[in-house]
Amino acid sequence: GQTIKLEDYRATDFVLHSVAMTIRLFEGRADIHTTLELERRKGVDAAAPLVLDGDELTLTGLALNGTPLEGERYDASPQRLEITGLPSDERFTLDIETTLVPENNTKLMGLYRSNGIWCTQCEAEGFRRITYFLDRPDVLARYEVRIEADRSAAPVLLSNGNPAETAVLPDNRHFAVWDDPFDKPSYLFAMVAGDLDSIHEQFTTASGKPVSLGIYTERGRATQAGYAMDALKRSMVWDERRFGREYDLDVFNIVAIADFNMGAMENKGLNVFNHKYVLLDPETATDVDYAGVETVIAHEYFHNWTGNRITCRDWFQLCLKEGLTVYRDQEFSADERSATVQRISSVRRLKAHQFPEDQGPLQHPVRPTEYREINNFYTATVYDKGAELVRMIETILGRDRFRRGMDLYFDRHDGDAATVEDFIACFEAATGEDLSRLALWYGQAGTPTVTVTEDYDAAAGRLTVGFKQTLRQGTAGTGTAPVHIPIRFGLVGPNGQDIDTASVHGANVAGDVIHLTEPEARVVFENLSERPYLSVLRDFSAPVALDHPQSEADRLALARLDPNLFNRWRILNDLVGAALTTASRAPSPEIQAPLTPEIIDAILGSAGDESLEAAFRAQALALPGEAEIARMLAENVDPDTVHAVVEAARRGVGKRGAALFARLHADRETGSQFSPDAESAGSRALASAALGYLAAATGDFGPAADQYAAAGNMTDRLAALTVLVHRFPDTPASTSALDDFYARFKHDGLVIDKWFAIQATIPSPGAVEIVAGLASHAMFSLKNPNRVRALVGTFAAANQLAFHRADGAGYRWVAERLVEIDRLNPQVSARIATTFRSWRSLEPVRRDKASATLRQLLELKDLSTDLRDILGRSLR
């Protein structure tokens, strides 16, 4: 594949006015007839040909204004259709016929079949696998779609927009026509046909418009869609209240599909979901699954305004819809659940996925300037750092002025294919604020470091705080100019209250935010009667690495006192992270006790504080993961040592907190009715964290075995099973629980994914052989992305010990699977291959083995563009 560059953007030579499609579905074949109404753009050379995109297509018919085209007028290949001699200044129609075999489409892009259901996935470039088209997001048109199929195989026929007509045809066939009144790009096209169950509800928008909501599932599973429906209605209400955005069609449908490349897709009026993000019940889904469904349902719904009504001019602008929509779904979850706990989990996610991406060879700016394969840019950087950039705009402007900017954006760009510049210009125009230094964030790769120094003059009652921002030039080479970094802060007194900071001078300070726009700045606080504790980067107000060499005593005080609860967690977590990193660099005696008693007591203090929410207390107990420690080490990483350090820390916390953990575990609620609400989920998370520490400290599997046996829901069951399988592998207690779990749930692929994942993450070098065995299990399939991610993806991403086994067996096993997966589904193979990205930070033996594996893979013929792109950039 060739490199596509942002700077090469230009509009199409032809303007598309409308699309009419007829899709005829048969067993083993789909015939597509598309009628395009087109016009040469004003000023375009009358001789310029029309070039349409295709991907593995077969052309079966082509006509201009109803008359079949002569062979010499066009050139068709599976990848492209070029037509010459088209009218120079009048509208014309093209009729294009293609034929496909959805059953053979294992890439799951375009039109494919999942357990008999016909469905489509068009973002980013899947529509060109259905018909020849101007398949790019700045080509918007009105679509009318007619679907024909067998009445028994596909009683349900769905597409975008509003239903227009249905009728019965001869030979037990029927058809449905759907009309979408909103112009849209092809990536938002969708069609679903099959024998589906459904649930339906009515929603009335704020202005009184009735909307029919439907969720469609495989037969027998609609009873599991109730929570998704509830989340959808709450999302619709929230977008009206928070952003004044109402829904715009008569119907909103969601379809849950078993075979899906990503989480879900926001097709206009017809969202298609990975069924993992729709189907739930207490027996088969955990609290984490419930929160995931709520988030993804909200995210896709919010795209109706941020993505669909206003779309992207080109794929370089992907963050315009994705970063903004993630920001919106995070705000929704913060309002629906606990804002502090939501922020902690978003920041954990950012640090676990985006920071390593931004600090390794796959780094790229939130708005990239070039790509070979756009599918590889649906990244943590575009999504999660993209959301952080929107959040910084909100922090800089304040909630009300941010809303004014959003209102202007919706007003000014409704119906447009917009750019990041358009978006930022709306906030500037609505508020008069200069956001040029903020805008730089979109173009520079890498995580900036903010260094903070403190100097307290007791005699003068003055605290001088120094700030410095640095950005190292990385592999992306995208510049290191100083950016606007908003630092939310507070000065905390010994009683745990923020001190009034009215007497302040130096850098630009507004309210509780210091605006860092230069490489260095100084802020001076006067009239202080005693030295306060400085709490910076509250709520993680910027996606930076913080270098604040605060004393352990200050940190421990803030971990206990900071009125900003997010920072209480963040400062404690950083303290623990620093201790574990230091121990991982040190020789073995320190490994026995990597955390000081004071740090452990701070953890236990938060965990035992009944004035705090249970979910927050559970977060305080979650130590930084092994991958996180590896990222902080940055070089010469030995995953065995890191694992030993984290384990020693767990034992240390477990032993010192044994009494607390026993109490927390004993006090857990059992037997009562399951409720997925945030508070109940928090209590379960706290009890399960306690169970993990108890097992680590005592080596007794009894409490976990009891919890497994008594579990009334999947959350408690899976937590107990994880402790048994990870801490007591090969014991009868562990194997009998694993067998029981399989026997109970072997008919439910989504639960079997958990069964695979739990075994893929057994923290033992032998996990390589375990996953190798599981790959031949009857329930494993290379064709189902969820199954592949559960076994291969989870092993590579979440089993540091085994994936990085010193003999290279983990790398080899994953590489072999990548080759097999790549032949079927390049998007999935490319995504899993990113787990190799941090190879340079490993110690020399593993570094050589990992890079040799990557190089050998790259030498193979017939790799997909997707996988080749990831491998090539990982080695750069």
* Binding region for ligand HT7 (CB under 6 A): 121, 123-124, 261-262, 264-266, 299-300, 303, 322, 375, 378, 827
Cβ atoms < 10 Å from Cβ of 491: 19
Cα Rg of the chain (Å, integer): 28
Interface region with Zn ion, contact rule CB under 5 A, candidates 87-95, 138-146, 323-331, 861-869: 323-331
Q: Please answer whether residues 297 and 332 qualify as being in contact, where contact means their C-beta atoms are separated by less than 8 angstroms.
A: no
Q: Please answer whether residues 225 and 278 qualify as being in contact, where contact means their C-beta atoms are separated by less than 8 angstroms.
A: yes
Hey, what are 390's tokens? 């929107």
Nearest distance in Å: CB 265, Zn ion: 8
Closest CA to 105 of 118, 95, 92: 118
Hey, what are 806's tokens? 């010193």
Closest CA to 211 of 245, 244, 247: 247
Question: Binds 580, which of Zn ion, ligand HT7, none (CB < 5 to 8 A, cut-off by type)?
Answer: none
Nearest distance in Å: CB 382, ligand HT7: 9
Hey, what are 250's tokens? 């008569």
φ, ψ (nearest 5 deg) of residue 795: -60, -50
Site map 842..871 versus Zn ion, x via CB under 5 A: ------------------------------
652 burial class (0-12, 13-18, 19+ CB within 10 angstroms)? Answer: buried
Instruction: Give every CB contact of residue 506 below 8 A, 6+ residues apart in sequence.
Output: 464, 521, 522, 523, 524
Hey, what are 255's tokens? 């379809």
Nearest distance in Å: CB 303, Zn ion: 6
Question: Binds 607, which of Zn ion, ligand HT7, none (CB < 5 to 8 A, cut-off by type)?
Answer: none
DSSP-derived secondary structure letter, 224: G
Cα separation, 553 vs 607, whole angstroms: 19
- Which of 125/180 has CB closer to ligand HT7? 125
Interface region with Zn ion, contact rule CB under 5 A, candidates 318-326, 370-378, 510-518, 662-670: 318-326
CA angle, corner 470, sides to 465 and 473, nearest 5? Answer: 175
- Which of 317/480 has CB closer to ligand HT7? 317
Say which residue the tokens 């080479």 belong to: 477
Nearest distance in Å: CB 326, ligand HT7: 8
Nearest distance in Å: CB 123, ligand HT7: 4
Distances in Å between the Cα of 221 and the Cα atoms of 218, 280, 551, 585, 755 are 6, 9, 55, 51, 20
φ, ψ (nearest 5 deg) of residue 507: -65, 170
Hey, what are 664's tokens? 């927390």
Instruction: Give every CB contact of residue 618 below 8 A, 6+ residues apart in sequence.
Output: 607, 682, 685, 686, 688, 689
Question: Binds 121, which of ligand HT7, Zn ion, none (CB < 5 to 8 A, cut-off by type)?
Answer: ligand HT7
Site map 619..638 versus Zn ion, x via CB under 5 A: --------------------
- Which of 564/784 has CB closer to ligand HT7? 784
- Which of 385/849 has CB closer to ligand HT7? 385
Question: Binds 262, which of ligand HT7, Zn ion, none (CB < 5 to 8 A, cut-off by type)?
Answer: ligand HT7
- Which of 297/430 has CB closer to Zn ion? 297
Question: Binds 615, which of ligand HT7, Zn ion, none (CB < 5 to 8 A, cut-off by type)?
Answer: none
Interface region with Zn ion, contact rule CB under 5 A, candidates 308-316, 317-325, 493-501, 677-685: 317-325
Question: Binds 123, which of ligand HT7, Zn ion, none (CB < 5 to 8 A, cut-off by type)?
Answer: ligand HT7
Hey, what are 120's tokens? 């489509």
- Indicate the SS3 state at residue 27: coil
Closest CA to 783 of 277, 258, 26: 258
Q: Which residue is closest to ligand HT7 by CB?
A: 262
Interface region with Zn ion, contact rule CB under 5 A, candidates 322-330, 474-482, 654-662, 756-764: 322-330
Closest CA to 284 of 672, 671, 676: 676
Cα separation, 35 vs 143, whole angstroms: 10
φ, ψ (nearest 5 deg) of residue 828: -75, -40
Closest CA to 229 of 274, 294, 163: 294
Question: Binds 53, which of Zn ion, ligand HT7, none (CB < 5 to 8 A, cut-off by type)?
Answer: none
Nearest distance in Å: CB 264, ligand HT7: 6
H/E element, 72: none
Nearest distance in Å: CB 338, Zn ion: 24
Closest CA to 476 of 367, 400, 397, 575: 367
Cα separation, 211 vs 201, whole angstroms: 9
Nearest distance in Å: CB 404, Zn ion: 24
Cα separation, 809 vs 846, whole angstroms: 11
Site map 276..315 versus Zn ion, x via CB under 5 A: ----------------------------------------
- Which of 299/617 has CB closer to ligand HT7? 299
Interface region with Zn ion, contact rule CB under 5 A, candidates 23-31, 325-333, 406-414, 510-518: 325-333
- Which of 124/788 has CB closer to ligand HT7? 124
Total chain residues near Zn ion (CB under 5 A): 2
Question: Binds 688, which of Zn ion, ligand HT7, none (CB < 5 to 8 A, cut-off by type)?
Answer: none
- Which of 266/574 has CB closer to ligand HT7? 266
Nearest distance in Å: CB 296, ligand HT7: 8
Cα separation, 691 vs 723, whole angstroms: 8
Task: Reply yes or no on whether 300 is catalytic.
Answer: yes
Nearest distance in Å: CB 329, Zn ion: 8
Site map 172..191 versus Zn ion, x via CB under 5 A: --------------------
Q: Is the dihedral of CA 265, 270, 274, 278 positive or negative?
A: positive
Identified catalytic residue from 300, 373, 454, 626 = 300
Question: Binds 375, which of ligand HT7, Zn ion, none (CB < 5 to 8 A, cut-off by type)?
Answer: ligand HT7
Closest CA to 737 of 698, 761, 706, 762: 706
- Which of 328/727 has CB closer to Zn ion? 328
Question: Binds 358, which of ligand HT7, Zn ion, none (CB < 5 to 8 A, cut-off by type)?
Answer: none
Q: Please answer whether residues 324 and 423 qualify as being in contact, where contact means their C-beta atoms are separated by less than 8 angstroms.
A: yes
Distances in Å between the Cα of 299 and the Cα atoms of 231, 266, 324, 365, 381 are 11, 8, 10, 22, 17
- Which of 800/827 has CB closer to ligand HT7? 827
- Which of 176/324 has CB closer to Zn ion? 324
Question: Binds 131, which of ligand HT7, Zn ion, none (CB < 5 to 8 A, cut-off by type)?
Answer: none
Nearest distance in Å: CB 322, Zn ion: 5
Which residues form the catalytic set? 300
* Site residues (vs Zn ion, CB under 5 A): 322, 325
